Amino acid sequence: MSEVAAVILAAGKGTRFRSETAKVRHRAAGRSLIGHVLEAVRPLGLAQVLVVVGHQAEEVRAEVEAVGVPGTTTVLQLEQRGTGHAVQQAMPALEPGIDRVLVLPGDTPLLTSTTLQHLLAAGAEETSAPRDGGAPTAAGVTTGGAMLTAHLDDPTGYGRVLRTPDGQVARVIEHRDAPETVRAITEINAGMYVFDRGRLEASLADLGDDNAQGEVYLTDVLARLVDDGAPVLPVSASAGEIAGVNDRAQLADAARALRARHLEHLMVEVGVSVTDPATTYVDVDVEVGVDAHLLPGTILERGTRLAARAVVGPHSHLVACSVGEDATVHSTRAERATIGAGASVGPFTHLRPGTVLGERTKVGAFAETKNATLGEGSKVPHLAYVGDATIGERVNIACGVITVNYDGRTKSHTTIEDGAFVGCDTMLVAPVTIGEGAYTAAGSTITDDVPAGSLAIARSRQTTKEGWSDRRRG
């Protein structure tokens, strides 16, 4: 079996983005553009993956490493002189056992592993018909490789594919170099190829830059292979899947398509109910369990995980959160929080990083938590702030309670043990511990530990001056 390596072209700046961030680092539906391409490559089990970097090389390299596809390294293209030049920089880094080279752009987030498998299968054939029904190649002819093509209603900006009389690829002419007769062709080059390594190396050796852009075109390799009697087989792909992203409008279009694809997967293949997909925004790395329900206005980002039968929404925004079975999250903003099975959150709740809610807990309206753990069955029903705190099981934290955790310099911790009851409008001045089963009276400012089973009252006594109001009014 031949060994295959991928060369992914990710060196460009992306001028049309008008951004200080390299194009392939921009994100769509939770992943960078280069991340999407690498994830499409991951299931192929390739022997080697080379990513050609250039503009903001260190930042792009860090993004590639964060994706973590095995066998991936980067190659530097100091001067960006076209796709052919980029592949020339990568070839010396190929391992000795590599027989075929898959070449991909780094800005095509809708590309799928299935399409790449079709491309690799076509490139491995020695005799084959074109993928779109053209005449077969002569028996015994070894192909130089295969390439993806698509038909576009508006092919402006793409290289046009010219065919031989028997339906094979003759050459590709870039849009800027094409006369009007060629620009009328609707079949475009997707910029995705698989080549025989030896033939690719030979063809790359003497590529020139005699073209409108003064660049070294990888497409010139195709004509050389045809001239050498090693045809390149066309493989048809959907126009949407091979679309590149060159500006922010196209980035938004790609993100929309990726979210729609992921929601369809969740609904059809997993069994998730989505009331209104048009108003539900779910990143591609978000996992949702069977019989979960996503209500309108739900936004799930950065690897959020929802277990079976969880209900999220309406109007909830979860970032890097975990939600347990049968939990409900209504009108909530949460980041890096864990919500236990059967918990109830919202409406109008803010869970900040470090929040861990145990099973059957409740955090209700206009409550905020941060770096706080609530034990099973504990409640913060409304209008409270709980930060830097450990709350035991079956604790009730009433309306208006605040853990006073910051003195202007340092954060201090509050501990409330099992079964305690913290009365309305209590200030817990940390560091402080409320013992098991203890109570605090409403309106108290607690500065000292409260022993288990005790009642703490920390407020002035009421003084009533009878007749005072009548006298004041005269």
Verify whether residue 382 is a known catalytic residue: yes
Helix (H) or strand (E) holding 373: strand 368-374
The residue annotated as part of the active site, out of 26, 262, 350, 382, is 382
Do the Cβ atoms of 283 and 302 come closer than 8 Å?
yes
Question: How far apart are the C-alpha atoms of 100 and 123, rounded to whole Å?
Answer: 9
Q: Which residues, listed in sequence order, are joined to residue 374 by a DSSP beta bridge?
A: 357, 391
Beta carbons within 8 Å of 216's beta carbon, 6+ residues apart? 81, 82, 83, 84, 85, 88, 207, 208, 209
Do the Cβ atoms of 100 and 194 come closer than 8 Å?
yes
For residue 84, the Cα-to-chain-centroid distance in whole angstroms is 30
What number of other Cβ atoms are within 10 A of residue 264's Cβ? 12
Do the Cβ atoms of 232 and 144 come closer than 8 Å?
yes
- SS3 at position 435: coil
The amino acid at residue 161 is V
Question: How far apart are the C-alpha atoms of 81 and 75, rounded to whole Å?
Answer: 15
Give the residue from 141, 174, 142, 144 showing the smallest Cα distance to 160: 174
Do the Cβ atoms of 240 and 153 come closer than 8 Å?
no
Tokens of 458: 């920390």
What number of other Cβ atoms are within 10 A of residue 179's Cβ? 8
- SS3 at position 381: strand
- The dihedrals phi and psi of 446, each to the nearest 5 degrees, come to -95, 115
The amino acid at residue 100 is R
Which residues are known to be catalytic? Answer: 382
